[in-house]
Amino acid sequence: MKICLVGGVFDRLETVRSKQRVTPETVLLDGLLRAGVDVHSVGHSRFQPSDDYDVIHVHHFGRAALKMASSRCRARVVFTGHNGLIPTGWERSRLRRYAFQYVVDKAEAFIALSRAEARYFAGVTNVDKIHTIPNGIPADVFRIAVEIPKRADKERYDVLYVGQLIDWKGVNFLLEAMQRLRRQRDVHLRLIYHNAQLEPELRQQARDLGIAEHVDFVGFRGPGELVEEYQQADLLVLPSFADCLPSVVTEALLCGTPVVAGAVCGVPEQIGPYGHAVPPGDSVALANAMETILADRSRWQALAPQIRAYAEHTFKPETMVARHLALYRDMIDGRAAAARRRADWMDPMMRLAIEVYWRRRRAAT
């Protein structure tokens, strides 16, 4: 069995990848290597369809996904979208929605990260090709603080956000919720992010709300630093409109930290009983959910080992790898359901569109 894993993370420089060592693609790659599988990893920009592989598994919607979907390659095709914009209806581009659906239709297996995502795609594609496999997160990387445990009697309450500063992440509603919470308790927010697109606007909003001194715009944190952030926080908040199965939720739970997040796609089932999922865009509901946990901080801190045990069992990398391996073997041996691959007449047009689009991008840069 020869496997090709395709993902954007494999395009990045090693200096960057060393700071992002826990991603779905890298966790799967490491697990396959440990299992002795002949596996090759490549980024979207360098990917070329090849009959040399038994299975080509493309992660994320992008150039490689479109090239593989429109190719005549004989390798079996697996696609994991990792895209919360589609099932939540947040994707505004009609062209991107169509192209994403084209990739899903052409894949022979589609990996849904949650039952909610699987239900959505069961309504728009061949249900037999959908396989629900949640992402695994290494429990030895994200762990509960032992040497310096959290103090239930400290005066300040620490809230953490980890993600991007972009519109559909809903950080503006988190700032509004923070203003409400500040009326009744000493709460402080730390924002960890690698995409600072809306940082100026959010800084201004914090000033306008009168909470600027209680909000830290921290920026990027490496793996070790991020673990410390989770460990020191009383609560992780992710007020997103369009997440699929965000890794930061699992990471926080592995560190024993409860979560409040937007009730979108697979997030409610991901959190389980260890936090609250609220309607996105509702700052009052968000503040109330946060207050419920902060007001009972000592109980939640006592639950930390139980929270970790739940996440460690539910999102175990070994389970993720084993289920992918079983799928690959079934596809190679012909036991997986055959995909009804439609729209073959579109393939030449798609190949031409891909070439023209990326030729223009190269010229522009």
Domains and CATH numbers, the chain: 2-136+316-364 (3.40.50.2000), 157-314 (3.40.50.2000)
Instruction: Tell me the pTM.
Output: 0.91
Q: How many CB atoms are closer than 10 A to CB 338?
A: 11
The pLDDT score that the predictor gives to residue 65 is 94
Beta strand 275-278 with 187-193 is unpaired
Tokens of 323: 């289920």
Measured distance CA(276)–CA(253) in Å, rounded? 13
Angle at Cα 286 formed by Cα 285 and Cα 292, nearest 5°? 90
Please provide the DSSP assignment of 203-215 as one string: HHHHHHTT-GGGE
Tell whether the model's pLDDT for residue 17 goes beyond 60: no
- Give the model's confidence band at 11: pLDDT under 50 very low, under 70 low, under 90 confident, else very high: confident
Dihedral of alpha carbons 24, 311, 33, 14, sign: positive
The pLDDT score that the predictor gives to residue 21 is 63
* Average of per-residue pLDDT across 264-285: 97
* Average of per-residue pLDDT across 266-274: 97
Look up tokens 């992710």; give the residue: 238
pLDDT tens sequence across 210-257: 999 999 999 999 888 999 999 999 999 999 999 999 999 999 999 999
Tell whether the model's pLDDT for residue 85 goes beyond 90: yes
Question: Can you tell me whether residue 238 is helix, strand or coil?
Answer: strand
Measured distance CA(308)–CA(181) in Å, rounded? 27
* Average of per-residue pLDDT across 328-334: 93
* Average of per-residue pLDDT across 159-167: 97
Amino acid found at 149: P
- DSSP one-letter code for 71: S
Measured distance CA(247)–CA(163) in Å, rounded? 10
- Give the model's confidence band at 349: pLDDT under 50 very low, under 70 low, under 90 confident, else very high: low
* 3-state percent helix, strand, coil for the chain, nearest multiple of 5: 45, 15, 40
Measured distance CA(355)–CA(361) in Å, rounded? 10
Angle at Cα 276 formed by Cα 60 and Cα 282, nearest 5°? 80
The pLDDT score that the predictor gives to residue 132 is 97
Measured distance CA(87)–CA(323) in Å, rounded? 23
